Structure 1
Amino acid sequence: MIGIVIVSHSKQLSDGLKELADAMSQEPVPIASAGGIDDPEAPLGTDAIRIMEAIQEVMSDKGVLVFSDLGSAKLNAEMALDLLDDDERKNVRLCDAPLVEGVLAATVQIASGGDMDAAIAEAREAARPFVDGAGGAGAASDGATEEGAAREFRIKTVHGLHARPAALFVQTVNRFDGPVRITNLTKKKPAANAKSINGVMLSEVGGNDVIRLSAEPAVADDLFAAIEDLVASNFGEAERAPDVPEGEPEQEAEAAPQAKAVTSGTLKGAAIAKGFAHGPIRQIRRALPDEVEATEVDDRDGEVDRFRAALAASETELRAALDAKGDGIAAYDRKIFDAHIAFLHDPALTEPVETGIRERGVSAGSLWRDAVADLSKSYRGLADPILKARGEDVIDVGLRVLRHLSGDAGEVAGATEAAILAFDDLRPSDVLTLDLDTVLGIASAYGGKTSHAGILASGLPVPVVFGLGVDLTGIAEGTDVLLDGGKAELTVAPDKALLDEIEAERVRLEKRRAEAQAVKNDPAVTKDGVRVRAAANLASLEEVAAVAQSGAEEVGLLRTEFLFMRREAAPSEDEQYDIYRQMVEGLNGGALTVRTVDIGGDKPVAYMDRPEEENPNLGWRGIRYSLAEPDLFETQLAAILRASAHGPVRIMFPLVSTLEEVTAGKVAVRKVMDVLKERGQAFDETIEVGIMIEVPAAAERASLLASHVDFFSIGTNDLTQYVMASDRANPKVQKLCDPFDPAVLSMIAKSIAAAHEAGIWIGMCGAMAGDPLAVPILLGFGLDEFSMAAADVAEFKLTLKGLSRADCEALAKKALEQESAAAVREMVAAG
């Protein structure tokens, strides 16, 4: 079979593209990734030797097809050919198709039995969707005629003929001789070549769409039977599109909602940052234009240079804005803008533009706008809310480049006078450039907490509300509005009574905040003298200072995933040790509870060789993954143990379900201790080892597990979703995912009782620990340690001072007798 070599300046890009191509191909196609160079300081580049070795790895008598991204990659690919023997060289072809689309199209064609010429032709057709619309692979000029047999099929995969079903469809059709055409009857698309992956993708077949296949009579019956089998098996996918009721017309795609003029009333959205703001509204329009005029250019090379200069200027501008922020933006959040810079170098965006300029003489702005719109639309069509939100990052980058192409170097501003800014969709770079001297608050029509802008905006010192809807843009410039970040509401033209009420609430909250700050360094103790531990959760080295100043006595949870994510290889023992050591030293004697890495679920890591999982939250993650990867696990344990020589440290295993996992984890700790002794490296031989209670099995068997560990820590985020069988990231079932449900409370109470019976302490590090409404219940159950966001510690201590253990015990008992989470909340709120 023909082999494929992917040459990219970015190893991450070439590895990811290989993974995607492998997933799309039903028949295994030999594919080798040859991305990046071996220089940790400057990993972007290509290496002729690496390319040559990749070619030899996938070499066969059918030949090898080489794809590359930028200019120097092509030069190194040509150099690699010169390094091959004559017999090898004659079987290798360089393909000038766009990298991403070309590789995917060629992979499907090769898997379908296509020869080298067919694979190259199909790869080159992949450029056409970006260049000349519905032509190319999708056009009716594929050689098929109107004559022949035809049959209609309804496609029931939930997302229609997206990548994998489309690849399977094309490979099946390619088993039959003669031309075959596909027509999307639902969307009224023109007939396309059904043997072309691009033709099928251009047909935009969605879930429940009806297609018509046309083929020559000699093969029609067998072809239709094969497609019928595919449709019946739902292309091997579990989820099906909902049925269209019989007799009802199929719905046209909904038009984008139109804003109406808003002069009064209240808009509701999603809370991002708490607080109140009152003042005039200023509308900020930041949408991608519907079109950019496509003008002809005479100097095509000059236009390519102008486009590249705009990309370079955009990167320089981004880096300058980050430098200007200094310590005002955490290193973890800076990585959001690393992704923006990566988009500026992404050939999937840049190559179609340069190709369009060179082949058609069209101006860069028009081509760039279309490429950005297409890629953003692809992201927005994804089901995963986190990936879906990345579409806004693409638009953000796109707008920045368009500004430079148009000669408008001005950044998005805030307001010259104090105002509440209203965005159609706040973007990360907007957050980066806000003038907080004039910004009273921020409102956005769209967006949510999982977007990069939402993550950044949550740390702003002004109220922020997202998802207020399109009517936000219908509020006239300068209109008086009230923004309530806590309730996630924006009231237009508020009356005096409401303003007086809010002002009274603001004064109350300010007084409460001042009282909390006054006691933040006091012991965490109730009014009847019961002492508990107030701890903070930690997710990066940059947060240590905030924890140390928050009043927290220790760190109840260090999430170590930040060390492993957004990089190309796992961190070394020394790298991890150095970070843990700095954290221990920065806590001024407070203990650091280090959770071993919880990779998987909602925290995927690209460089780890992990299978795709139908339900990753119930899959190979936490302690399960660590025990299966002893090198990774023992490296981390060694780093944690070495850090324990510098101050109090604990080890905590996540997602424990069985005693066997606990035992195996402790065996690994002892093994690493022996290794460190042989090396002569210091560590705390009495280090505490504990587990997280976040799986119902662990809560049910807490009495057994407690006798084998030094402590428990309850992770209510996962425990709640597992007890209630409700994915906490799925908005359709989020109402069920409530830790106040009596079923969850029962698991918590059982775990606390089991810990105390065994003589060990128990904490909580889930979001519930920092909820003032939950504190009296948890105190009543007997929780020993409350670990929360550093910003919540002061309020927690103040809340605690107003409670007595005896009253809380009675309240906790009543909570277990309630019928619902809502009833529990009402009971606690009533006192």
Structure 2
Amino acid sequence: MVNLVIVSHSAALGEGVCALSQQMLQGKTNCRIAVAAGLDDPDFPIGTDPVKVMDAINSVADTAHILVLMDMGSALLSAETALELLDPEVAAKVTLCAAPLVEGALAAASIAATGASIERVKAEAENALQAKRAQLGVEENAPLPPPVALAQAPGESAMTASWVVTNPHGLHVRPAAHLVAALSGFNAALSLEKDGKCISPITLNQIALLQVRCGDTLRLIAQGPDAAAAIDAFLALAQNQFGERPGTAGTATELPAKITGVVHWLAQDNAPFTPEALSRSTASFSALEQAINHTLDDLLALAHQAEHDGLADIAAIFSGQHTLLDDPDLLAETRTHMQQHQQSAALAWFQVISGVAESYRGLDDAYLQARYIDIDDILHRTLCHLLSIPLAVPTFPAGSVLCAENLWPSLAMQLPVDEVRAICLRAGSPQSHSAIIARQRGIVILTGLEDTLDNWQEGEAISVFSTGKITRPGAEC
């Protein structure tokens, strides 16, 4: 007997597919169906949970075989992780299926109800699209259209469009992410040109490192069947300031003129993230892929949290980080590092992402340069997932003045505003996303204080002014 497990990002979709599949059983009891779908979080319900998948498999494990069908992305990773969590005897019964979720589940339930073998059930599920393809006249195994190579310069058939950027801070991460989203998916070779330099407009890092400033002229070059549509999408987005509403980027909530509180230092243990420590990691490349997908889920959750709090501009920051991380070139470069230098996955990823951060640090545009902290944040988060280090948000007493070397944008979003009234950083920039997020959440933040923080003691009373002034008992900074 073959039982089924449905894994989906959406609880409604998972239950709906299960209900449809139950109808295919026609009352027969020789196939049971379990669902692992969505997250048990009313604010952020979309996602998949390996533990829920494991529990669903265990609930139908009283059989010879279990076929697991998944919708996409992290659903597959959650299913693979669940296999590692299961008792080996149960895991041996499980087969992961590449079939389309809806059609595959219906086909699998229909044939499983007859008592067919696991091989037959899996084959029926994976071939479930054939009837639809035949009805629509789609040739079986028809090849996908080949990708069009990147156009480095306009040819005779190329279309071009130019635009003078008016965004106050140019194409920083947020508007660049909107551009990537707008131009992805067209069947056309696309290049974005500034001052004779061409890059791919569907790679966020390349756009950011092009250093597009206010007043720069951008030219999109497009060749291929969808060239005209790509040009239209580019111009429509440009006319809307690349998705950035005028006057809102980086604006601050009205801040209190003075905050008096008690110093609390943020403890940061970087020992697990040294090159020496990472070189000893035994985590596999597939584990790194899972860690990246967990980080992508984290960034979506942060974006949803910001939207829920009415902070659309902050949501765009985390959406931009998501686009930046979801770049297959980063994984490809990491694999190359592993092969050429015999490095662990953790060390190779550390070196690749640290290299991206250094590229941002080396920019001469202060606004773009400040984005290095976003890259460091992403690196820290993925390594924590890879090395199974908890990502708990630290807690502080109410009325704290938080002191630290620097601060991740993700932590700036998660700090409770009733606990942390002000933030003082040795490093950082007032133009960083960490500072922008803190200010929009009503937290006074001072950056680049360097040795001003020397000798500040845990528990010391201090007053911080939004103008940048700091006072301590018996001294003034």
TM class, shorter-length: 0.3 to 0.5
Q: Which has the larger radius of gyration?
A: 1
TM-score by length of 2: 0.44
